[in-house]
Amino acid sequence: MDAGLTALLGAAVGSLATLGSAMVTGRTTARSQFGQWRRQHRRDAYANYLGALYDRDVALDAVRDALRSDRPDLQEVNEKMERFAAQARGVQRAAEFVILEGPQSVVDALYRVVHAADDLAEVTRRMVRDAHAGDTSRKAADSELAAEREHLLYQAVKGLRAAAAEVLGDSRIRAS
């Protein structure tokens, strides 16, 4: 073989190796960027949900505070319930994004939060109905039940945070 042909073959092999390396590097970079983009979208969805849930819980606490009196101001209670209902709709909207972003482990944790939050809201709604009816027979028991359900909600939220942290690769957040 003459030197020119050898040089040409060497250049061709070198070019193919460079091209292959560039393709592998490009794919690796694209995968990495997609992973970062995905994590950011998930982080945003999870944070928005938790923020909306916090606002809803503050509104629900305001309703329960308004009910503490022996003779609650029913107009005030109704206004606070309307605010709670508006916040609850925001939580439902935010939950849809968590469901879309997933993964299933986070969605399962989200549903545990939804059920715990619904259980707490149910007790509060009953307390509001009883206040409107002037019935105080269940007030102490319902207040105690609401406190228990609030604790269960807190535990469910901790579980959601832990599931989200695992998906996002953040080991600083624990379920403990």
Number of domain units in the chain: 1
Dmax (CA) of the chain: 106
Examine residue 132 and state whether it is found in any structural domain, yes or no.
yes
pLDDT value at position 134? 95
pLDDT value at position 60? 96
Examine residue 174 and state whether it is found in any structural domain, yes or no.
no
Q: What angle do CA 129, 134, 136 make, to 5 degrees?
A: 90
Kind plus residue range of the DSSP H or E element containing 45: helix 3-67
58 contact partners, CB below 8 Å, separation of at least 6: 87
Examine residue 123 and state whether it is found in any structural domain, yes or no.
yes
Cα–Cα distance measured from residue 5 to residue 21, given in angstroms and rounded to the nearest whole number: 24
Examine residue 17 and state whether it is found in any structural domain, yes or no.
no
pTM of the full structure:
0.79
Examine residue 3 and state whether it is found in any structural domain, yes or no.
no
How far is residue 20 CA from its own chain's centroid? 42
pLDDT value at position 28? 67
154 Rama class: left (phi>0) / alpha (psi -120 to 50) / beta: alpha
**Tell me, what CATH number does 87's domain have?**
1.20.120
Per-residue pLDDT of the chain (176 residues; tens, 9 = 90+): 677 777 767 776 777 667 677 666 666 665 666 678 788 999 999 999 999 999 999 999 999 999 999 899 999 999 999 999 999 999 999 999 999 999 999 999 999 999 999 999 999 999 999 999 999 999 999 999 999 999 999 999 999 999 999 999 875 655 44
Examine residue 12 and state whether it is found in any structural domain, yes or no.
no
Cα–Cα distance measured from residue 114 to residue 26, given in angstroms and rounded to the nearest whole number: 42
Examine residue 175 and state whether it is found in any structural domain, yes or no.
no
- Nearest-Å Rg of the Cα atoms of the chain is 28
The domain in which residue 44 lies consists of 39-168
Examine residue 87 and state whether it is found in any structural domain, yes or no.
yes
